[in-house]
Amino acid sequence: MVGHATETAEEFAETLRAAIRAKGLSLDRIRHRLQMRGAPISITALSYWQSGRRRPERPDSLLALGHLEDVLDLPEGALSQLLGPPRPRGRGRVRPPTPQVQGAGRDNVRLAQLLAGVDTSSDTGLSRVSQQDRVEIGADGGTRRLRSRHTLRADRSGVDRWVLVYDTDAPGNPLPSVGMLRSCRLGRLIADPTSGILVAELLFPKPLRQGETLVLEYELLQDEAPYPALETSHFRRFRLPVREYSLEVRFDSRCLPARCERFSTPDLEQGTEIEVDEWGYAFATSRDFGPGIFGIRWEWVLS
């Protein structure tokens, strides 16, 4: 199995190098085109991938492969199918297999289709003053609950809703239920288990006036089997800037990770290690962030 993994890794690097040569693009141009598609990957990471020194393993990197195939005019799956199972990091440390992401390009199309079914006109009229996410990981390593709190300011009068988009990264599994906690009620909800995406309108009590501020809270509950498999990260993708973002992940005491790190754009491959405290919490925050991706990822020790 080790020999097979090495062979597929070398084949991935060779295929990527050949595609880059055939396309005639510099790594900087490729990086720019991926950035424009909302899939930021650093020049360093691209260089490592084509040299074979590293391969895409992070969820964000795997999601970007579909876009990279498009940029290089490769058939869908030409690169992603060459990746074997994730490599273990350290003695006894393993990352669970990452879900297949060959449909990453189609997922973006599907998301656009789902968003067409709700009213997104208020989105650009709201400033993100602060956003807080609290994630609960169960004893089996799967996400059980996500609780979010948003402080929003109206940049124009008449904005009346927040559009929630949630991607389980596990197509086919049950989607979470949506609970309203503060200053909102559920409007249109579109759930597509096949793609693993949920879109919902959270309606404000009344339209906001320009300059008015609203604190919005909701939660997503994973209360139907089969539950998600071992999670290895949680991140939020920001299309617009946020003044302050905080992310808190609470692990069940029966299932603590071996290590945690925070990560963000522009270089998603590089992370900063953070501690899990004695109560099982990992915490990260950022100011004046976005557009981009910010999150926490972790590794498990499996017995």
Domain boundaries defined on the chain: 2-109, 118-301
Locate 139 and state its tokens.
Answer: 């004893």
Of 67, 107, 59, 63, nearest in space to 86 by CA: 59
Structure confidence at residue 59 (pLDDT): 67
- Note whether 84 and 55 are within 8 A (CB): no
For residues 1-16, one letter each, b for 16 or more C-beta atoms within 10 angstroms of the residue's C-beta and e for the rest, the string is: eeeeeeebbebbbebb
Distances (CA, A) of 71 to 9, 130, 233: 21, 35, 26
Strand ordering across the sheet containing 161-167? 161-167, 197-203, 185-192
52 pLDDT exceeds 80? no
Question: CATH topology for 118-301?
Answer: Immunoglobulin-like (2.60.40)
State the CB neighbour count (10 A cutoff) for residue 270. 12
Q: DSSP 3-state assignment of 95? A: coil
pTM to 2 decimals? 0.65
Q: How confident is the model at residue 116 (pLDDT cuts 50, 70, 90)?
A: confident
Tell me which of 290 and 42 has the higher pLDDT. Answer: 290
Say what percent of the chain tops pLDDT 70.
83
Q: Which residues sit opposite 299 in a β-bridge?
A: 259
pLDDT of 262 reads: 94
Structure tokens at 95: 């990352």
Query: Is residue 226 reached through a cis peptide bond, with omega within 30 degrees of 0 on the bond before it?
Result: yes
Report the alpha-carbon angle 279-280-281, nearest 5: 100
The mean predicted confidence, pLDDT, of the chain is: 81
Output 141 or 245, whichever has higher pLDDT.
245
Tokens read off for 108 = 């973006």
pLDDT at 88: 42
297 Cα distance to chain centroid:
10
Q: State how far the Cα of 178 lies from the Cα of 231, in Å rounded to an integer.
A: 20
Supply the pLDDT for residue 9. Answer: 60
Phi, psi of 5 (to 5 degrees): -65, -40
The residues that bridge with 31 in the sheet, in sequence order, are none
Tens-place pLDDT, residues 57-80: 776 677 788 889 888 988 877 887
Cis peptide before 266 (omega within 30 of 0): yes
Both tokens of 206, joined, read 């009344």
pLDDT score, position 244: 97
pLDDT at 226: 52
